[in-house]
A and B are shown apart, each in its own frame.
Chain A
Amino acid sequence: MTGVNAADVGDGTANDVVVEAVDVQKWFGKLHVLQGISLTVKRREAVVILGPSGSGKSTFLRCVNHLEKIQEGRILVNGHLIGYREVKGRLVEDKEKNIARQRAEIGMVFQNFNLFPHKTALENITAGPMHVRKTDEEQARSEALVLLERVGLRDKADAYPLRLSGGQQQRVAIARALAMKPALMLFDEPTSALDPEMIGEVLTVMKELAFDGMTMIVVTHEMGFAREAADRVVMMADGVIVEEGVPSSFFNAPEHERTKAFLSQIL
Chain B
Amino acid sequence: MTQTVIATYPFNWGAFLDYLLNPNGMVTNGIRLTIIIAVVSEIIGVVLGVLLALARMSRSKVLRRASGIYIWFFRGTPLLVQIAIVYFAGFPFFGLPIFGGYSWGDVTVFGVVIPGRILAGIFALSANEGAYMAEIVRGGITGVDAGQLEAARSIGMTRALAMRLVVLPQAARLIVPPLGNQFNMMLKTTSLLSVISVVELYTASSIVQGQTFQPFEVFFAAAIYYLIMTSIWNFIQSRVERRLGRGWGEERGAQDRLTTRLFGRGLPSRNQAAVSLDR
A119 and B154 in contact (CB under 8 A), knowing A112-B147, A114-B148? no
Q: Does B153 contact A (CB under 8 A)?
A: yes
Which of A104, A112, A120 is close to B155, meaning CB atoms less than 8 Å apart? A104
CA distance A67 to B152 in the complex (A): 11
Q: Does A146 contact B (CB under 8 A)?
A: no
Q: Does B9 contact A (CB under 8 A)?
A: no
CA distance A101 to B166 in the complex (A): 18
A103 and B153 in contact (CB under 8 A), knowing A118-B246, A160-B247? yes
Which of A100, A110, A161, A163 is close to B156, meaning CB atoms less than 8 Å apart? A100
Residues of A within 8 A of B151 (CB): 108, 110, 114-116, 173
Q: Does A200 contact B (CB under 8 A)?
A: no
A118 and B158 in contact (CB under 8 A), knowing A67-B150, A127-B165? no
A131 and B165 in contact (CB under 8 A), knowing A117-B248, A118-B170? yes
- Closest beta carbon of chain B to A190's beta carbon, Å: 13
- What count of chain B residues pass the 8 Å CB interface test? 24
Residues of A within 8 A of B166 (CB): 116, 127
- Give B162-205 interface residues, CB cut-off 8 Å to A: 165-166, 169-170, 173
- Closest beta carbon of chain A to B57's beta carbon, Å: 16
Residues of B within 8 A of A4 (CB): none
Contact digits for A78-116, partner B, Cβ 8 Å, 1 yes 0 no:
000000000000000000110011011111101010111
**Contact present for A114 and B145 (CB under 8 Å):** yes
Residues of B within 8 A of A106 (CB): 154
CA distance A117 to B246 in the complex (A): 9
* Residue of chain A at shortest CB distance from B173: A118
Residues of B within 8 A of A127 (CB): 152, 155, 165-166
CA distance A9 to B249 in the complex (A): 47
Contact digits for A161-176, partner B, Cβ 8 Å, 1 yes 0 no:
1110000000001001
Contact digits for A139-167, partner B, Cβ 8 Å, 1 yes 0 no:
00000000000000000000011110000
Contact digits for B225-267, partner A, Cβ 8 Å, 1 yes 0 no:
0000000000000000000101111000000000000000000
Residues of A within 8 A of B155 (CB): 103-104, 107, 127-128, 132, 176-177, 179-180
Interface contacts beyond A107-B155, A132-B161, A161-B247: sample of 19 additional A-B pairs, CB < 8 Å, sorted by A:
A67-B153, A67-B154, A97-B158, A100-B153, A100-B156, A101-B156, A103-B155, A104-B156, A108-B151, A110-B150, A116-B148, A116-B170, A118-B173, A118-B247, A119-B247, A127-B165, A127-B166, A133-B156, A162-B249
- Residues of B with Cβ closer than 8 Å to A? 145, 147-148, 150-159, 161, 165-166, 169-170, 173, 244, 246-249
- Residues of A with Cβ closer than 8 Å to B? 65, 67, 96-97, 100-101, 103-108, 110, 112, 114-120, 127-128, 131-133, 160-163, 173, 176-177, 179-180
